[in-house]
Amino acid sequence: MFPGCLSIFCQDAIKFTSIRKVRQLCRIIPYNRSCCPVTYVFFNSETRHLSSTGSRHQQVGEDIEQSLTAEVWDIVVSGGGLVGSAMACVLGYSSVLLDKKILMLETGPPFSQKPLTEKYSNRVFALTPATRDLLNSFKAWDNICSVRLKPVKRMQVWEACSDATISFQHTGMLHDVAYIVENEVILGGVMEQLAKISDRVTVLNHAKVTEYVLPKQGGINEWVEIKLENGRKLKTKLLIGADGMRSLVRKTMNVNYTAWNYDQKAIVATLKLSEPTENNVAWQRFISTGPIALLPLSDDQSSLVWTATSELADQLMAMPEDNFVDALNSAIWDESKKNPIVEKTLGTLNSFLNTLWPGEGSVRQLPPNILSIDEGSRACFPLGLGHAAHYVAPRVALVGDAAHRIHPLAGQGVNLGFGDVQALAKLLVNSVYDGNDIGTLEPLLEYETERQRHIVPTMCVIDGLNRLYSTDLLPVVLLRSLGLHLTDTFRPIKERIISHASS
């Protein structure tokens, strides 16, 4: 024994087989250094009680007992959806966090990749190049590419009340503007990488958290307590809430949460196109009941996200599949809402802009015709918006839908979540590298500021677009059509939009 140290004798070899666990307990040493000349604390495997010597050591014994009766982790990621599993992966692959014990908790069963079939899943995401780079940073992108994805070279957005169109593409369509990937394929790619670091990241499935106790100050020995449905208790120095839009972590943080439901639902389905083409364009048409998006999957298949008022969505879901396809084609092609005044004004603006900047502005392409939908592939999701006033608290951070939920019209939801992962991981790694405790509040606050500066404007624009296009009122149609057309003509503005959406 060394004077001035708290020494621990372990009679239960199993309890301390891992070096990490010993180191974890050793962190208690400085806590007591000043007041404890020599202290012996015995852990008895039979009675599971601690006994200590010395008059002021009762408190110390209680602290240790507390830390032993519950498992202690450095980082717990609660929620193993796309965002949570990517978070666990990025942290697990960081060389700076090699000695950290990381745990991911997920209510659902373990992920098992189903054999690939011709049939595409109806849950697909448009991933941005920034998300690709994040997934590439821990090699999950290679796994995704080896299964399947569809690169998008161009996006075309137009509306029902005028010919105003905007398109996004890189010069000569050399670079991809997005990637359409199935949910299962992304999750499979990430989980494959997680499995390779199972010594660093533990994944616990069927692990539903029922209670969190958060520390008030987050001091050196004040950790987050977690209770699982099966009664198991855990502690962590940093809790990352990736538990989706109904986040229990967020509720426990008791932060203000601004939320509303749109009176809209999104219908997803897998579509068969009338004829095979290169099919590398993502299409979106705004109609007053909500936008319709066609996302390419293969030469002759696309994925549908059709936003409609709740009433219309229910009717569309109840239709036989053939009638649904007819309704879809008519919603994509219908010209009856076009307003001649708007068309004339747009034509005049177009000729004027053409004389000033000939060749700028998009050439409008025609969208594909839909032949049929994959049997039983229709599913419907109610839509809403939600935003937490704070993403962090002492020893807690929220990521993904737990912090912010947005309308899917710009395909940004999970991309924003991956952006959170990237930002939080970077700040945590830097903080630990500087010698700070993993739950230090400062980098968490920096994370909150950085992300809210990006996310709040994005949410406002997306919510605004949804409202702007939900009316057929002539002045509004005129203004938005002119605005869209002007934006389409000025390349620097479009480049700024692409760069914001991709970051």
Ligand X SMILES: Cc1cc2nc3c(=O)[nH]c(=O)nc-3n(C[C@H](O)[C@H](O)[C@H](O)COP(=O)(O)OP(=O)(O)OC[C@H]3O[C@@H](n4cnc5c(N)ncnc54)[C@H](O)[C@@H]3O)c2cc1C
Q: Which residues are at the interface with ligand X (CB under 6 A)?
A: 78-84, 105-108, 125-126, 208-209, 242-244, 248, 266, 268, 305, 381, 400-401, 408, 411-415, 417
Tell the smallest beta-carbon distance from residue 46 to ligand X (Å).
34
Count the neighbouring beta carbons within 10 Å of the beta carbon of residue 136.
14
Of 43 and 125, CB closest to ligand X: 125
Query: Please, which residue, 74 or 401, has the CB nearer to ligand X?
Result: 401
Instruction: Tell me whether residue 64 or residue 462 sits nearer to ligand X (CB atom).
Output: 462
Query: Shortest approach of ligand X to residue 268 CB, angstroms?
Result: 5
Q: How far is the CB of 178 from ligand X (least distance, A)?
A: 9
Distance CA 421, CA 131 (A): 10
Q: Indicate the helix (H) or strand (E) that contains 233.
A: strand 233-241
Helix, strand, or coil (residue 294): strand
CB of 383 or CB of 428, closer to ligand X? 383
- Please identify, using beta-carbon distances, which residue of 73 and 125 lies nearer to ligand X: 125
Min dist CB 412 to ligand X, Å, is 5
Q: How far is the CB of 129 from ligand X (least distance, A)?
A: 13
What per-residue string of b and e applies to 60-77 under the rule 16 or more CB within 10 Å gives b?
Answer: bbeebeebeebbbbbbbb
Enumerate the β-bridge partners of residue 127: 179
Least separation in angstroms between CB 474 and ligand X: 31
Four-CA torsion 399, 404, 405, 408, nearest 10 degrees: -80
Which structure tokens are listed for 295?
């996302």
Q: Nearer to ligand X by C-beta: 303 or 440?
A: 303
Whole-number Å distance between alpha carbons of 74 and 192: 23
- Cβ at position 131, least distance to ligand X in Å: 8
CA proximity to 125, closest of 489, 408, 341:
408
If the CB atoms of residues 20 and 208 are measured against ligand X, the closer one turns out to be: 208
* Element housing 78 (H / E): strand 71-78
- Based on CB atoms, which residue is closest to ligand X, 57 or 387? 387
Lookup result for tokens 């960081």: 94
CB of 439 to ligand X, least distance (A): 20
Residues 474 and 481: their CA atoms lie apart, in Å, by 10
| Shortest separation between residue 394's beta carbon and ligand X, angstroms | 20
* Cβ density class 240-256: b for 16+ within 10 Å, e for less: bbbbbeebbbbebbebe
Closer CB to ligand X, 196 or 251, in the complex:
251
Give CA–CA dist 402/245, Å, rounded.
5
d(CA 142, CA 352): 48
Smallest distance from the beta carbon of 106 to ligand X, in angstroms?
5
Q: Of 107 and 288, which has the nearer Cβ to ligand X?
A: 107
> Which class for 346: exposed (0-12), middle (13-18), buried (19 or more C-beta within 10 A)?
buried
Identify which of residues 8 and 77 has a Cβ nearer to ligand X in the complex.
77
- Least distance (Å) from ligand X to the CB of residue 431? 23
3-state SS, residue 453: helix
Closest to ligand X by CB, 215 or 400: 400
Q: How far is Cα 116 from Cα 235, in angstroms, rounded to an integer?
A: 39
Cα 87 from Cα 424, distance rounded (Å): 9
- What are the residues facing 7 on neighbouring strands? 40
Instruction: Please answer whether residues 226 and 212 qualify as being in contact, where contact means their C-beta atoms are separated by less than 8 angstroms.
Output: yes
Query: Comparing C-alpha atoms, which of 372, 384, 114, 422 is closest to residue 246?
Result: 384
CB 424, min distance to ligand X, A: 13
